[in-house]
Structure 1
Amino acid sequence: MRAVALEIPHLWKFVSHARGEVERALTSFAPSVRAATVMTASELIENAMKYGEEVPNLLTIHLRLQADAERITIEVSNGALTRERVCQLEQRLAEIASSTDREELYMNRIRTLLDNPTEKGGLGLYRIGFEGGFDLTCTFIDSIVTVTAVRGAHEHGIV
Structure 2
Amino acid sequence: MGPQAQVQAMNPLLSTSLSPLWSNLRATRASVREALAQYPSALVDAAAMTACELLENAIKYGEEVPRAPAILFTLSLTEDTISIVTINGCTAPESVERLFCRIQSLRDAPDLQALYVERLQELIGRPGEGANIGIYRIALEGGFALDATYADEVVTVTATRRIYG
How much has 1:69 moved relative to structure 2?
A: 4.0
* In structure 1, C-alpha distance between the alignment counterparts of 2:113 and 2:39, rounded to whole Å: 24
Q: Once structures 1 and 2 are overlaid, which stretch shifts more, 61-70 or 42-51?
A: 61-70
How much has 1:2 moved relative to structure 2?
A: 6.7
Give 2:97's aligned residue. 87
* In structure 2, C-alpha distance between the alignment counterparts of 1:28 and 1:36, rounded to whole Å: 14
TM-score, reference length from structure 2 = 0.89
CA shift in 2, pair 1:48/1:16, >3 Å:
same
Q: Once structures 1 and 2 are overlaid, which stretch shifts more, 33-42 or 79-88?
A: 79-88
Match of 1:105 among 100, 103, 115: 115
Residue 30 (str. 1) matches residue 40 (str. 2) = yes
Give 1:142's aligned residue. 152
Give 1:55's aligned residue. 65
* In structure 1, C-alpha distance between the alignment counterparts of 2:66 and 2:78, rounded to whole Å: 33
Give 2:143's aligned residue. 133
3-state DSSP class of the match of 1:132? coil
How much has 1:63 moved relative to structure 2?
A: 0.5
Question: Which stretches of structure 1, 4 residues or longer, exceed 4 Å deviation after superposition?
Answer: none
The percentage of counterpart residues that share the same residue type is 36
Return the letter of the residue paired with 1:46.
Answer: E
* In structure 1, C-alpha distance between the alignment counterparts of 2:164 and 2:115, rounded to whole Å: 23
Point out where structure 1 has 5 or more consecutive residues left out of the alignment.
Answer: none
Asked if 2 retains the 8 angstrom alpha-carbon contact of 1:2 and 1:26, the reply is no
3-state DSSP class of the match of 1:106? helix
